Structure 1
Amino acid sequence: MGQRVQRLAAYAVIVRGDEILLSRLSERVTKHELWTLPGGGVDHGEDPRAAVVREIHEETGLEAEVGVSAHVFSMHLEDTWRRGRRVDAHSVRIVYDGWVAADAPEPHVVEVDGSTVEAAWKPLSAVLDGSVPTVSLVGEALGVLMPHQRQRVAAYAYVERDGALLLTRNSVLGPHPGVWTLPGGGVDHGESPAATVVRELHEECGLDGTVGDLLTVDDHHFTGEAPNGRREDFHAIRIVYRATVPEGVEPQVVEVDGTTDAAEWVPLAELGAGRREVSSLVAAALAAARR
């Protein structure tokens, strides 16, 4: 039996749409094309989460974030070769859920003469069917690391006047940029939904609103990328109130660099004709208002 060697390493599963970020091992590690998760050895005294962020930058040139929880994988090879010698190797691999910004540049290797020679986004389908050759850790990690689950409670205003509906447009920082929706947003911890509507009407439309009766409660469940690039299994619970705003004051966005970049009175006839892209929340609110 060879010398015992134990290694602790940290990696991240970073999925964007239908692609996964991978690093290709250099020829000094393997003579064959072989891809792995970005990551690497944890230095003495280094936090594993800090190690994986460092390794992702070195191997892909990207600035990443990782979740606080992880899965641990263990591989024991009693008789293998490491750096030209026969060893009894034990690898402990900590794998995190990771993400990069949606507008992150194309990956490229930063480290010189390291174990990685290429970094790229690879189709998930090609990884799963074996078209892209990967180390076993990739498949094992994909089998257990599901998208981050997130539930969000938000409150919105339905303000209709003179045949028009008050709507706001999602900015590039928000979900579905360019889509129009009702003014509103997430309910802060300890905040009543009605107070959320008043606050959001001011931030997104510059208007002082008065909240009326509850119109409807709607929910929306989907899996996709959050504005920060993290893949989420997202469940939105959306509370909609009827509301009124003062006459003679035009809406204008107050908050700077937020998720809203425009606010307008949109004619209901225009919405009915489908000439403007609106969120499913608008359709649900309109249906409830007609009942």
Structure 2
Amino acid sequence: MGQQVQRLAAYAVIVRGDRILLTRLAERVTKHELWTLPGGGVDHGEDPQAAVVREIYEETGLRAEVGDTAHVFSMHLSDTWRRGRRVDAHSVRIVYDGWVAADSPDPRVMEIDGSTADAAWQPVAAVLDGSLPTVSLVTEALAVLQPHRRQRIAAYAYVERDGALLLTRNSALGPHPGVWTLPGGGVDHGESPAATVLRELHEECGLAGELGDLLTVDDHHFTGTAPNGRHEDFHAIRIVYRVSVPTGTQPRVVEVDGTTDAVAWVPLAEIAADEASYSSLVRAAIVAAGRPLG
């Protein structure tokens, strides 16, 4: 039996859509192509969460955040080789849920002559079917680490004028980039939904509105990438009010670098003819308002 060697390391599972951020081990570690999770050894006295954030930057050049909980994986190889010598190795790996901003640049290796040769977003499907060679930790972590669960209550405005509906378009930072939806957003703690819808209408469209009746309450459940880049199991509760705005006023995008990049009056006939460009909330609100959808 070789010398006993124990190593504590921290890693992160970072998923964006159907891809996962992985790093390729350098040739000095393995002669074969082999991908692993970004992360590495925890230095003496270093917090594991701080260690994984540091390692992710060194290996991918990306500024990451990680959750507060993790899974621990243990691997014991009683007879293996490390740095040219035979050892009895025990690896304890702490794996966090992690995320990077949705508008982050492409990953690139920062460390020189380290254990990482490349960093890239790889298809999750290729990991799961084995066509991409990975260390066992990758599939083990994917099997147990679930998307962050989040429930959000939001309020929206149904503003109709002359056969057209006031809509906002999701920016690249939004949950569905390029898709049009109703103006509105999350209800702040302690804020009434009625106050929320008027505040959001002003923030997103630059318009002062007059609140009408409650139109409908809708919900939507999906898994996707949040505006901050985190992979989420998301449940949206969406409260829709009828709202009127002064005649002759024109909407404009007010927030800069936010989740809205355009605002417009869109004819109902156009919405009916192009379902893919509009959120399910838009169609649900139109139906609730008793308007035709073709």
Asked whether the two chains share a fold, i.e. TM above 0.5, the reply is: yes
Displacement after TM superposition at 1:71 (Å):
0.7
Name the structure 2 match of 1:91: 91
Q: Aligned pair count?
A: 291
Q: Distance in 2 between matches of 1:65 and 1:34?
A: 25
Q: Which amino acid aligns with 2:32?
A: H
Deviates more, 1:61-70 or 1:169-178: 169-178
Q: Where do 1:128-277 residues align within 5 Å?
A: 128-274=128-274, 277=277
How far off is 1:276 after superposition? 9.0
Change (3 A) 1:277 1:28: closer
Q: Report the 3-state secondary structure (helix = DSSP H, G, I; strand = E; otherwise coil) of the residue aligned with 1:290.
A: coil
The superposition leaves residues 24-73 of structure 1 with CA deviations (integer Å, 9 ceiling, x where unpaired) of 22232223322211110001111111111111121222222222211111
**CA–CA distance in 1 between the matches of 2:119 and 2:250?**
50
Deviation at 1:97, TM superposition (A): 1.1
The answer for unaligned runs of 5 or more in structure 2 is: none
The aligned residue for residue 6 of structure 2 is 6
**Residue 264 to residue 32, structure 1, CA distance change in 2 (3 Å):** closer
TM-score using structure 2 length: 0.91
* Letter in structure 2 aligned against 1:114: G
C-alpha distance in 2 between matches for 1:198 and 1:47: 44
Partners of 2:127 and 2:74 lie apart in 1 by 21
2:32 aligned residue: 32
Answer yes or no: is the 8 Å Cα contact 2:103–2:173 preserved in 1. Answer: no
Q: Which residue of 2 aligns with 1:61?
A: 61
Distance, in Å, in 2 between the alignment partners of 1:171 and 1:242 is 24
Moved over 3 A (4+): 272-276
Q: Which residue of 2 aligns with 1:105?
A: 105
* Residue range with higher mean Cα deviation, 207-216 or 97-106: 97-106
Identical-residue share of aligned pairs (%)? 82
Q: Which range is displaced more, 202-211 or 143-152?
A: 202-211
Residue 275 of structure 1: how far off its partner (Å):
9.0
**Aligned letter for 1:144?**
V
| Residue 94 of structure 1, CA deviation | 0.4
CA RMSD of aligned residues (A): 2.0
